[in-house]
Protein backbone atom coordinates (compact mmCIF):
# COMPACT_ATOMS: atom_id res chain seq x y z
CA UNK A 1 0.00 0.00 0.00
CA UNK A 2 1.05 3.57 -0.54
CA UNK A 3 2.49 5.66 2.24
CA UNK A 4 -0.32 8.04 3.24
CA UNK A 5 1.88 11.07 2.66
CA UNK A 6 1.92 10.25 -1.03
CA UNK A 7 -1.31 8.24 -1.29
CA UNK A 8 -3.90 8.95 -3.95
CA UNK A 9 -7.04 10.71 -2.77
CA UNK A 10 -9.59 7.89 -2.91
CA UNK A 11 -8.53 4.42 -1.77
CA UNK A 12 -10.85 1.43 -2.22
CA UNK A 13 -9.97 -1.82 -0.45
CA UNK A 14 -11.83 -4.87 -1.74
CA UNK A 15 -11.85 -8.49 -0.66
CA UNK A 16 -13.91 -11.38 0.63
CA UNK A 17 -14.61 -11.89 4.32
CA UNK A 18 -11.45 -12.47 6.36
CA UNK A 19 -9.21 -11.87 3.39
CA UNK A 20 -7.30 -9.11 5.18
CA UNK A 21 -8.99 -5.90 4.06
CA UNK A 22 -9.92 -4.73 7.58
CA UNK A 23 -6.42 -5.43 8.84
CA UNK A 24 -5.03 -3.44 5.91
CA UNK A 25 -7.32 -0.50 6.66
CA UNK A 26 -6.31 -0.46 10.30
CA UNK A 27 -2.63 -0.53 9.40
CA UNK A 28 -3.28 2.30 6.94
CA UNK A 29 -4.96 4.37 9.66
CA UNK A 30 -2.34 3.67 12.31
CA UNK A 31 0.62 4.33 10.03
CA UNK A 32 -0.76 7.60 8.69
CA UNK A 33 -0.35 10.96 10.37
CA UNK A 34 -3.33 13.08 9.28
CA UNK A 35 -4.85 16.01 11.11
CA UNK A 36 -7.78 13.72 11.95
CA UNK A 37 -9.35 10.38 11.12
CA UNK A 38 -13.15 10.20 10.81
CA UNK A 39 -14.60 6.69 11.14
CA UNK A 40 -18.23 5.76 10.49
CA UNK A 41 -18.76 2.94 12.98
CA UNK A 42 -22.33 1.65 12.82
CA UNK A 43 -21.18 -1.93 13.58
CA UNK A 44 -18.68 -0.94 16.34
CA UNK A 45 -15.97 -2.75 14.37
CA UNK A 46 -13.62 0.24 14.22
CA UNK A 47 -13.92 1.02 17.94
CA UNK A 48 -13.34 -2.61 18.94
CA UNK A 49 -10.37 -3.19 16.66
CA UNK A 50 -8.71 0.15 17.39
CA UNK A 51 -9.80 0.33 21.05
CA UNK A 52 -11.35 3.72 20.56
CA UNK A 53 -14.07 5.34 22.61
CA UNK A 54 -17.12 5.76 20.34
CA UNK A 55 -18.71 9.17 19.88
CA UNK A 56 -22.51 8.88 20.01
CA UNK A 57 -23.55 12.51 19.70
CA UNK A 58 -22.55 15.62 17.78
CA UNK A 59 -21.04 17.06 20.96
CA UNK A 60 -18.98 13.91 21.53
CA UNK A 61 -17.78 14.04 17.93
CA UNK A 62 -16.62 17.61 18.46
CA UNK A 63 -14.89 16.68 21.72
CA UNK A 64 -13.08 13.78 20.02
CA UNK A 65 -11.43 16.06 17.47
CA UNK A 66 -8.65 16.86 19.92
CA UNK A 67 -7.64 13.16 19.89
CA UNK A 68 -7.42 13.18 16.06
CA UNK A 69 -9.74 10.13 16.01
CA UNK A 70 -13.51 10.54 15.66
CA UNK A 71 -15.27 7.16 15.75
CA UNK A 72 -18.98 7.90 15.27
CA UNK A 73 -21.54 5.29 16.31
CA UNK A 74 -25.02 6.38 15.18
CA UNK A 75 -26.95 4.19 17.64
CA UNK A 76 -28.19 7.06 19.85
CA UNK A 77 -28.61 9.89 17.35
CA UNK A 78 -30.10 7.78 14.56
CA UNK A 79 -31.33 4.52 16.13
CA UNK A 80 -33.67 3.66 13.26
CA UNK A 81 -32.00 5.31 10.28
CA UNK A 82 -28.32 4.59 9.75
CA UNK A 83 -28.51 5.86 6.17
CA UNK A 84 -29.42 9.30 7.52
CA UNK A 85 -26.62 8.93 10.05
CA UNK A 86 -24.14 8.28 7.27
CA UNK A 87 -25.27 11.38 5.38
CA UNK A 88 -25.06 13.50 8.56
CA UNK A 89 -21.58 12.22 9.38
CA UNK A 90 -20.31 12.92 5.87
CA UNK A 91 -21.63 16.47 6.10
CA UNK A 92 -20.11 16.98 9.55
CA UNK A 93 -16.78 15.52 8.43
CA UNK A 94 -16.67 17.76 5.38
CA UNK A 95 -17.36 20.83 7.53
CA UNK A 96 -14.59 19.80 9.92
CA UNK A 97 -12.19 19.38 7.00
CA UNK A 98 -12.80 22.99 5.94
CA UNK A 99 -11.80 24.35 9.36
CA UNK A 100 -8.06 23.94 9.08
CA UNK A 101 -5.06 22.67 7.14
CA UNK A 102 -3.67 19.17 6.92
CA UNK A 103 -4.84 15.90 5.53
CA UNK A 104 -7.87 14.06 6.92
CA UNK A 105 -9.23 10.56 6.35
CA UNK A 106 -12.88 9.55 6.11
CA UNK A 107 -13.02 5.77 6.60
CA UNK A 108 -16.09 3.68 5.76
CA UNK A 109 -16.49 -0.07 6.09
CA UNK A 110 -18.74 -1.89 3.60
CA UNK A 111 -19.34 1.21 1.53
CA UNK A 112 -21.97 -0.48 -0.65
CA UNK A 113 -24.43 -0.41 2.28
CA UNK A 114 -24.58 3.39 2.07
CA UNK A 115 -23.44 4.23 -1.47
CA UNK A 116 -24.84 1.83 -4.03
CA UNK A 117 -26.38 1.73 -7.48
CA UNK A 118 -29.67 3.09 -6.11
CA UNK A 119 -28.37 5.56 -3.53
CA UNK A 120 -25.71 8.26 -3.68
CA UNK A 121 -25.93 10.44 -0.54
CA UNK A 122 -25.48 14.10 -1.36
CA UNK A 123 -22.96 14.74 1.41
CA UNK A 124 -20.80 11.77 0.50
CA UNK A 125 -20.75 13.10 -3.05
CA UNK A 126 -19.60 16.41 -1.59
CA UNK A 127 -16.75 14.65 0.24
CA UNK A 128 -15.58 12.81 -2.88
CA UNK A 129 -15.91 15.72 -5.30
CA UNK A 130 -14.83 18.70 -3.19
CA UNK A 131 -13.12 17.16 -0.17
CA UNK A 132 -9.66 17.05 -1.73
CA UNK A 133 -9.63 20.85 -1.76
CA UNK A 134 -9.55 20.66 2.05
CA UNK A 135 -7.26 17.65 2.37
CA UNK A 136 -10.04 15.10 2.85
CA UNK A 137 -9.18 11.59 1.67
CA UNK A 138 -11.55 8.63 1.38
CA UNK A 139 -10.67 5.15 2.64
CA UNK A 140 -13.47 2.72 1.77
CA UNK A 141 -13.77 -1.04 2.22
CA UNK A 142 -16.17 -3.47 0.56
CA UNK A 143 -16.76 -7.12 -0.21
CA UNK A 144 -18.96 -6.07 -3.12
CA UNK A 145 -17.30 -3.41 -5.30
CA UNK A 146 -19.84 -4.10 -8.07
CA UNK A 147 -22.61 -2.85 -5.77
CA UNK A 148 -20.89 0.45 -4.94
CA UNK A 149 -22.21 3.41 -6.92
CA UNK A 150 -20.35 3.45 -10.23
CA UNK A 151 -19.52 7.16 -9.97
CA UNK A 152 -17.61 6.46 -6.75
CA UNK A 153 -15.83 3.39 -8.09
CA UNK A 154 -14.79 5.38 -11.14
CA UNK A 155 -13.14 8.02 -8.93
CA UNK A 156 -10.99 5.45 -7.14
CA UNK A 157 -7.35 6.41 -7.49
CA UNK A 158 -5.87 3.54 -5.47
CA UNK A 159 -7.38 0.04 -5.63
CA UNK A 160 -6.20 -2.52 -3.08
CA UNK A 161 -7.36 -6.02 -3.93
CA UNK A 162 -7.48 -8.93 -1.54
CA UNK A 163 -8.93 -12.27 -2.61
CA UNK A 164 -12.32 -12.02 -4.34
CA UNK A 165 -14.63 -14.90 -5.27
CA UNK A 166 -17.65 -13.17 -6.79
CA UNK A 167 -17.61 -13.01 -10.64
CA UNK A 168 -19.34 -9.62 -10.66
CA UNK A 169 -16.62 -8.33 -8.33
CA UNK A 170 -13.97 -9.69 -10.70
CA UNK A 171 -15.53 -7.79 -13.58
CA UNK A 172 -15.59 -4.59 -11.52
CA UNK A 173 -11.92 -4.67 -10.47
CA UNK A 174 -10.87 -5.72 -13.97
CA UNK A 175 -12.50 -2.56 -15.31
CA UNK A 176 -10.38 -0.60 -12.82
CA UNK A 177 -7.16 -2.16 -14.10
CA UNK A 178 -6.66 -5.16 -11.82
CA UNK A 179 -5.22 -8.47 -13.01
CA UNK A 180 -8.23 -10.66 -12.24
CA UNK A 181 -6.39 -13.99 -12.46
CA UNK A 182 -3.94 -12.83 -9.82
CA UNK A 183 -6.72 -11.47 -7.62
CA UNK A 184 -8.70 -14.74 -7.83
CA UNK A 185 -5.73 -16.74 -6.58
CA UNK A 186 -4.42 -14.49 -3.83
CA UNK A 187 -3.78 -16.31 -0.54
CA UNK A 188 -5.71 -14.89 2.41
CA UNK A 189 -3.80 -11.95 3.84
CA UNK A 190 -2.13 -11.07 0.54
CA UNK A 191 -2.98 -8.08 -1.62
CA UNK A 192 -2.14 -6.29 -4.84
CA UNK A 193 -2.34 -2.49 -4.79
CA UNK A 194 -2.93 -0.60 -8.03
CA UNK A 195 -2.18 3.10 -8.33
CA UNK A 196 -4.60 4.20 -11.04
CA UNK A 197 -2.84 7.54 -11.47
CA UNK A 198 0.64 6.21 -12.16
CA UNK A 199 -0.28 2.77 -13.45
CA UNK A 200 2.02 1.13 -10.91
CA UNK A 201 1.25 -1.90 -8.74
CA UNK A 202 2.59 -3.38 -5.53
CA UNK A 203 2.05 -6.80 -3.95
CA UNK A 204 2.35 -7.58 -0.27
CA UNK A 205 0.87 -9.25 2.82
CA UNK A 206 -0.82 -8.02 5.99
CA UNK A 207 -0.71 -11.44 7.72
Q: Which residue has the higher pLDDT, 155 or 113?
A: 113
Query: Is CATH 3.40.50.300 correct for 4-205?
Result: yes
Q: What is the pLDDT of residue 9?
A: 80
SS3 assignment, position 42: coil
Using a pLDDT cut of 90, give the percent of the chain over it. Answer: 92
Query: Torsions phi, psi of 142, nearest 5?
Result: -165, 145
Q: In terms of Cα–Cα distance, which of 1, 9, 5 is closest to 134?
A: 9
Span 161-178, pLDDT tens digits: 999 999 999 999 999 999
Task: Give the residue-averaged pLDDT of 118-134.
Answer: 94
Q: Is 5 a residue whose pLDDT tops 80?
A: no
Span of 19-23, 64-68, 115-119 with lowest mean pLDDT? 115-119
Q: Is 3 a residue whose pLDDT tops 90?
A: no
Sign of the alpha-carbon torsion through 149, 137, 122, 151: negative
Q: Which residue has the higher pLDDT, 36 or 152?
A: 36
Q: What is the pLDDT of residue 151?
A: 86
* Sequence ranges of the domains in the chain: 4-205
Q: What is the pLDDT of residue 138?
A: 97
Amino acid sequence: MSDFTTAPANTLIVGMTRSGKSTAAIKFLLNSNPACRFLFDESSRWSRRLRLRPAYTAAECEAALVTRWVCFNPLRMFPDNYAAAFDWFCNWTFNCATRGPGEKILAIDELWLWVNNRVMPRNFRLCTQAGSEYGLRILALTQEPHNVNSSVVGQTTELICFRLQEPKAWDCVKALGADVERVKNLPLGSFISYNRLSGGSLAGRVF
